[in-house]
Every structure is written in structure tokens, then in C-alpha cells.
Amino acid sequence: MESVRRSVRQIAYSHTLSSLPLRHLCLLPLLSFASSLYSLALSLRHHLYHIKILTKRRLPVPVVSVGNLTWGGNGKTPMVEFLARLLIDSGVSPLILTRGYGGADEAKMLQRHLQGTYAKIGIGANRAATASSFLEKYGYVNFHGIYHSKRLFSEEKKKNLSNSDQIGAAILDDGMQHLSVWRDLEIVMINAMMPWGNHRLVPLGPLREPLTALGRADVVIIHHADLVQEKDIKALESSVQKVKESVPIFLTEMAPLHFFKPGDVSSKIPLEAVKNKILLCISGIGLADSFIRRIEKMGPGYLDRLDFSDHHLFRLKDINVARTRIQALEFRFAAKPIVVVTEKDYDRSPGILEHLEPYEVLVVCCRLQIMPHHERTENSFKKIVMDLFRRYEHRCC
């Protein structure tokens, strides 16, 4: 199954299908047929919402959707955490609604990062039903007259709201294609390193919707912008503006903070710990190249990699493959290698990493940051988000 996933991914990001190996070409008829069915189902679904046979549920609090047009590696979950912290700092208790796909690794990471805050995380495929249960349990901020002063979030209001457990906003993780919940702000993430692939719909290509869906975006984020050239950024901006010229575009990066050891998430090991060391980077994420590029910037003596498909659940056979690779590195360099994994991989399979003993395993901890780009800064992004509450109050009143 892992080999099939790799073949499908290679096809999706190949611009010249005729140059693919024969084993890949054999998959093309099946993938093309499935892609056509997907396109038909997608069009029908949007039409049913348009003629209101299918309806969108409006929640009693502002809703921010974080989504994308392609599979994996777009930075949706880090942006969800960034938004949650932004709201918490402003005195708003956010409810994060996530599907919990792939062993709920992303939900577990969010729970760990936001532990001790007023953020709540609801896991379930039916985001509307999950939201209802949380709103019923915790209650929600009544926006009628709550924010009536000129300073939307005064220090007094921040204090009063932060002492309350009531939900003040909802964040839809991977929400762009989840049309059953009405959203007040649509944020679309784009992977700068691998934006559109072969421009085909899944499973023949990486697109979950055609590029015209960018017309629904209120904000576009170009993620991993620090890992590509300026000309690539300009090309992406041009692609977006052809669909929606006025949409604000921001650039983001994943900034490594420190490492921690499995089983001791409170430990903070400096990034310099891997400098001049022999490393084996193991990952099962949407874009392993971004992970590798960031570790390379830390100056290891030698870096080897072992990549699996996104959300891959590590098993003992995978650990045995990794151990064989580690032992080969140890023999080659006469030094004990260090294994480096992502937080997402750690949260998906924390126990399995113990089987790599006696080799040291480090988990790299990163956080999304907005990169200043012309007039688009972190402050201007925050203003867009917080203006949502003013609009919402006006609509409610």
C-alpha cells in the first residue's frame, strides 16, 4: 500500500506523464476514471448547496475556516494553532473543530500545544454536530451588545472573557471542503514548494477543487515561503490574483524552536544539539522536503532520510527498517547517529519510538510565523481576523 501511495503522489506532481515509469503509467486509466467521478460528485455537491437542497449550519459564534486546495503539507494545523493563540490573547475562547484524520495526530498535537489555555478541541467528521455538543456543554458568548465599546477588546473585557469558559469563536481545521458549516472568514493555505502539481483533481492529481475555488477565499496564505525563491512567490501571487485580484496574500514559515525527547515533552534541547552530528530524519507527513530543508539549516555533519506517506502509522517493521539504516550509518561514520522526527509523527506513534533504543531520538518543535511581505505583516493579519468580530457584532445587532 505504501508503494502505491508513493506512485500516486509521484504521478500527481509530475508535469510530464509520458516520462513516468511503466508501473506508474499502468495506474493512469484507473486514476483518470476516479478523478472524473470525483469531479462529477464535486460539481453535484456544490450545486445542491447552491439550490439549497443541502444547507449550511450557521453557528452562534464567528467561524474561521482554515483549508486548502491540495492534499498535505500546506500548514493548516499550524495556522489553526496560530489563530487559536491569537484569539486567546485577545480574550476569546476558541473551539477548534477537526476531523481527527490519520490517527488524530494533528488533534493530539493541538491538544498538547494548547493545554492549559481556554481553547477547546472537538474531534469528529460531522463538525456541525461536534460544535453543537460543545456549545451546549460550555455555552457561548452572546454577541448582542457584548462588544459595544469603541475598543473592541479592552483590557477589562480581555480579563472578563479569559475568566469565562464560554466559547467565543470556532475554527474549522481543514474546513474549505466542509461546506455544511457556514464560515465568516475563509483562509486558504498554499504550499509554496509544491503548489498545484499536475493541475488535476484527486486522485490523478493533488487538487481537491479546481483553482477557481480560490474565489471563495477571504485570505490566502503562501506557506513555506522561506524555502522558495522570490520569483516562485510572485508566480503564486499572480496565479491567485487571476482568480481573485483583491484577496490579501500573506507569507508564512515554520520556525524551529527546540527539540524534546520522546516521553518528556517539557524538555527543551537547543537546535545546536544536531550540529555536525550524523542524523536520520524519519517522517510521515505531507511534505517531507520542508522538514529536511529545515533540519539541514541546523548544520548536521550528514543527513539521511526515511520518508513515509502522510499520516503513516509506524509499525515494528518500519522501526526495523529504520534500525537497519541507523546501523549502516553508524558503521559508515563510526559514530552513533541521532534520529530526528516531527511532532506530528511523535504524536501519532509515541510508543513505537521507544523501540529505537539505544539510539537517541529527538522531536523537533516548530511554530508558524508570518513573514513581513510588503504591507502584509503579522499585525495586518491580526487586524483582518479581529475585524471579523466587529462585522459579526454588527450583523447580530
Q: What is the full DSSP assignment across 119-143?
A: -EEEE-S-HHHHHHHHHHHH-B---
Q: Are 219 and 276 within one domain? A: no
Q: Are 185 and 201 within one domain? A: yes
Q: Are 191 and 130 within one domain? A: yes
Cβ neighbours of residue 335 under 8 Å, at least 6 residues apart? 277, 278
Q: Are 133 and 74 within one domain? A: yes
Is 90 within a domain? yes
Residue 5 confidence (pLDDT)? 79
At which residue does the C-alpha cell 526515511 appear? Answer: 306
How sure is the predictor about 397, in pLDDT bands with cuts at 50, 70 and 90? low
Is 55 within a domain? no
Alpha-carbon separation of residue 190 from 6, 98, 366 (angstroms): 21, 19, 18
Containing domain of residue 215, as a range?
A: 63-248+376-396
Q: Are 243 and 120 within one domain? A: yes
Residue 150 has pLDDT above 50, yes or no: no
Q: Are 169 and 282 within one domain? A: no
Neighbours of 160 (CB within 10 A): 12
Pull the grid cell for residue 60: 452562534
Residue 261 confidence (pLDDT)? 96
Is 153 within a domain? yes
Is 39 within a domain? yes
Q: Which is higher by pLDDT, 150 or 84?
A: 84
Indicate the range of 131-135, 154-158, 352-356 predicted with least confidence: 154-158
How sure is the predictor about 104, in pLDDT bands with cuts at 50, 70 and 90? confident
Indicate the range of 53-67, 70-84, 132-146, 295-309 predicted with least confidence: 132-146
Q: Is 91 left (phi over 0), alpha (psi -120 to 50) or beta?
A: left
Mean per-residue pLDDT, 55-59: 94
User: Coil, strand, or helix at residue 350?
Assistant: coil
At which residue does the C-alpha cell 461536534 appear? Answer: 130
Q: What is the sign, positive or negative, of the torsion defined by CA atoms of 107, 247, 286, 209?
A: positive
Q: For residue 169, what are the β-bridge partners? A: 94
How sure is the predictor about 159, in pLDDT bands with cuts at 50, 70 and 90? low
Residue 396 confidence (pLDDT)? 61
CA–CA dist 168, 389 (Å, integer): 10
Is 178 within a domain? yes
Residue 163 confidence (pLDDT)? 47
User: Coil, strand, or helix at residue 97?
Assistant: strand
- Tally helices (H) and strands (E) across the chain: 12, 12
Neighbours of 369 (CB within 10 A): 14
Residue 155 confidence (pLDDT)? 54
> Is the previous residue joined to 203 through a cis bond, with omega within 30 degrees of 0?
yes
Nearest residue to 216 (alpha-carbon basis) of 45, 75, 65, 74? 65
Q: Which is higher by pLDDT, 81 or 9?
A: 81
Residue 165 confidence (pLDDT)? 81
Residue 153 has pLDDT above 50, yes or no: no
How sure is the predictor about 142, in pLDDT bands with cuts at 50, 70 and 90? confident
CA–CA dist 378, 75 (Å, integer): 16
Half-sphere exposure of 378 (CA within 13 A, CB side): 11
Q: Are 240 and 281 within one domain? A: no
Q: Which is higher by pLDDT, 171 or 348?
A: 171
Residue 25 has pLDDT above 70, yes or no: yes
Residue 111 has pLDDT above 80, yes or no: yes
Pull the grid cell for residue 293: 530543508
Instruction: Report the mean per-residue pLDDT for the chain.
Output: 90
CA–CA dist 152, 170 (Å, integer): 18
Q: Are 26 and 98 within one domain? A: no
- For 99, phi then psi, to 5°, come to -75, -30
At which residue does the C-alpha cell 559508515 appear? Answer: 332
Is 56 within a domain? no
Q: Are 15 and 130 within one domain? A: no
Residue 110 has pLDDT above 70, yes or no: yes
**Strand 249-261 to 264-269 pairing:** antiparallel
Residue 8 confidence (pLDDT)? 85
Q: Are 182 and 324 within one domain? A: no
Nearest residue to 133 (alpha-carbon basis) of 59, 53, 74, 212? 59
Cβ neighbours of residue 180 under 8 Å, at least 6 residues apart? 54, 55, 56, 57, 126, 127, 128
What's the CATH code of the domain at 329? 3.40.50
CA–CA dist 20, 22 (Å, integer): 7
CA–CA dist 129, 57 (Å, integer): 10
Residue 145 has pLDDT above 70, yes or no: no
Burial tier of 218 (Cβ tally within 10 Å: 0-12, 13-18, 19+): middle
Share of the chain above pLDDT 90, in %: 77
Residue 148 has pLDDT above 50, yes or no: no
Mean per-residue pLDDT, 356-379: 96
Is 58 within a domain? no
Is 314 within a domain? yes
Longest dimension (CA), the chain: 71
Indicate the range of 13-22, 79-88, 277-286 predicted with least confidence: 13-22
How sure is the predictor about 152, in pLDDT bands with cuts at 50, 70 and 90? very low
Q: Are 116 and 26 within one domain? A: no
Model confidence pLDDT, tens digit, residues 285-322:
988 999 999 999 999 999 999 999 888 899 999 999 99
Q: H helices of the chain, where?
A: 2-12, 22-25, 28-50, 76-89, 101-113, 127-138, 155-162, 230-243, 288-296, 316-333, 343-348, 378-396
Q: Are 302 and 331 within one domain? A: yes
Total domains present in the chain: 3
Pull the grid cell for residue 218: 477571504
Model confidence pLDDT, tens digit, residues 172-209:
999 999 999 999 999 999 999 999 999 999 999 999 99
CA–CA dist 368, 374 (Å, integer): 19
